[in-house]
């Protein structure tokens, strides 16, 4: 089962460029945020045995630049890079990622309170980490004989190329219609030709229609219904028993429903709540059919000009219809829950520099004992904004 250790979610770094004033000359705006932190993780390799723990340092960089051309068009460029390094006892938990994005924004229609805007561009990225065997805590090995087993440390290392087109239509002061399109290709850096493993290269297409509704001056509701299509270049489909069907590539079709509410009762508070449900259909024989549910809540408080408190919690569930642990005919069906919590305090020390302190915990309960673990971490660092 595909399981990336501490997968990093890299946010989109585009700048909204569709202006609503009179014509003007080209104008550039940008920003840079750099986080440098140090901390301790009780179980960075996510092992069911619960450790060992280790200290780490990490860096996270985000940059953005937007150039407006008149009052209806512009260009944007953004990038991010993140990495974490651990002490030698747990250095298999190290990972790195990077991404660059560019494109243009255009407002072809504006009349009264209505307008249509679009944003289109491309994205390149990479992800590197070590594939750790949760049973041993070491690099995953392929083969029953330890003397000839092939290490698969780079099994999930990949490069990404993507294109996107996002449309926005404001039909009134309170209603904004959304339509996002995204096509992504992942190329894995090592196919391990010396083994019988099949390449994991794939293509994903996402279409996400939705709407954002202003319920009041302080409450915004967003609802969307994403459709996700994923097909693999060489990975074989599975039959009803979980055996490979050679010559037939694997395909998945996922439908979902996203619902979120953002509340800003005052300048000092920012609240958000959300719920997402989805069903994935394995297009060949349904062996990897699954359903999931994710709920989250976040609270941000700004008691003064130099202080910020943030809390985040989420609960996710995943259940399979036919896939069983270890492929046993009468085995337990795959599935599990993950609960996360994180608290953060930020204090401005000087213009552009802040102290950030964070603590968090995660618990994974799974029908497969290899993916049942607990994790706790604490970190502190400096944040620079330009």
In a domain? residue 8: no
In a domain, 20, yes or no: no
Let me know if residue 17 belongs to a domain: no
On whether residue 378 sits in a domain, the answer given is yes
Would strands 290-304 and 73-86 be described as parallel, antiparallel, or unpaired?
Answer: unpaired
Task: Report d(CA 18, CA 168) in Å as an integer.
Answer: 11
**Rounded CA gap, 347 and 202, in Å?**
43
Model pLDDT for residues 244-273, shown as the tens digit of each residue: 999 999 999 999 999 999 999 999 999 999
Domain of 68: which CATH number? 2.40.160
The pLDDT score that the predictor gives to residue 79 is: 98
pLDDT in tens, 271-329: 999 999 999 999 999 999 999 999 999 999 999 889 999 999 999 999 999 999 988 77
Q: Which residues does 52 contact at the CB level (< 8 Å), separation at least 6?
A: 43, 89, 90
* Cα distance between residue 353 and residue 35, in whole Å: 10
Name the phi and psi angles at 9, rounded to 5.
-90, 115
DSSP for 165-177, written as a single string: EEEEEE-SSSEEE
What is the structure's pLDDT at 17?
35
pLDDT of residue 25: 61
List the beta strands (DSSP E) in 173-225.
Answer: 175-188, 202-216, 219-224
Give the chain's domain count: 1
Q: Is residue 1 part of a domain?
A: no
- The verdict on residue 12 lying in a domain is no
Question: Which residues are registered as beta bridge partners of 184?
Answer: 162, 204
Query: What secondary structure does DSSP assign to 274-315, as a single string?
Result: EEEEEEEEETTT-TT-EEEEEEEEEEEEEEETTEEEEEEEEE
Query: Would you say residue 136 lies in a domain?
Result: yes
Using CA atoms of 361, 126, 248, 181 in order, give the dihedral in degrees to the nearest 10.
90
β-sheet bridge partners, residue 262: 220, 272
Q: Which domain holds residue 178?
A: 27-385
pLDDT along the chain (386 residues), means of 10: 34 35 68 98 96 96 95 96 97 98 96 94 98 95 88 97 98 96 98 94 98 97 98 97 95 98 96 98 98 98 95 98 88 96 98 98 97 98 97
Chain CA centroid to CA 100, Å? 15
* 348 within domain boundaries: yes
SS3 139: strand
Q: Which of 352, 348, 360, 359 is nearest to 34 (CA)?
A: 352
């Amino acid at each position: 089962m595909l399981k990336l250790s501490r997968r990093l979610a890299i946010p989109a770094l585009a700048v909204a460029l569709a202006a609503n004033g009179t014509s003007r000359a080209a104008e550039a705006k940008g920003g840079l945020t750099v986080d440098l932190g140090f901390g301790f993780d009780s179980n960075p390799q996510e092992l069911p045995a619960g450790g060992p723990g280790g200290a780490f340092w990490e860096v996270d960089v985000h940059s953005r630049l937007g150039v407006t051309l008149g009052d209806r068009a512009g260009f944007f460029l953004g990038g991010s890079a993140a990495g974490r390094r651990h002490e030698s006892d747990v250095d298999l938990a190290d990972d790195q990622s990077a991404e660059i994005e560019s494109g243009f924004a255009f407002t072809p229609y504006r009349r009264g309170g209505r307008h249509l805007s679009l944003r289109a561009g491309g994205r390149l990225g990479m992800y590197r980490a070590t594939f750790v065997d949760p049973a041993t805590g070491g690099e995953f090995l392929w083969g029953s004989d330890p003397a000839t087993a092939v290490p698969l440390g780079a099994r999930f290392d990949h490069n990404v190329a993507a294109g996107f087109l996002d449309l926005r239509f404001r039909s009134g002061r309170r209603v904004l219609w959304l339509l996002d399109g995204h096509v992504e290709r992942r190329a894995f850096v090592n196919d391990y030709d010396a083994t019988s493993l099949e390449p994991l290269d794939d293509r994903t297409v996402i279409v996400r229609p939705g709407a954002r509704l202003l319920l009041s001056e302080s409450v915004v509701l967003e609802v969307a219904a994403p459709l996700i299509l994923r097909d693999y270049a060489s990975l074989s489909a599975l039959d009803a028993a979980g055996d490979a069907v050679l010559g037939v590539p694997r395909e998945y079709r996922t439908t979902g429903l996203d619902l979120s509410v953002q509340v800003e009762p005052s300048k000092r508070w920012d609240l958000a709540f959300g719920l997402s449900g989805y069903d994935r259909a394995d297009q060949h024989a349904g062996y990897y059919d699954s359903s999931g549910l994710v709920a989250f809540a976040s609270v941000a408080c700004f008691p003064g000009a130099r202080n910020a408190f943030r809390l985040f919690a989420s609960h996710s569930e995943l259940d399979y219809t036919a896939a069983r642990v270890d492929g046993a005919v009468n085995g337990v069906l795959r599935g599990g829950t993950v609960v996360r919590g994180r608290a953060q305090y930020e204090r401005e020390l000087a213009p552009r520099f802040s102290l950030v302190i964070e603590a968090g915990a995660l618990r994974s309960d799974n029908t497969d004992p290899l993916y049942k673990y607990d994790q706790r971490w604490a970190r502190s660092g400096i944040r620079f904004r330009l």
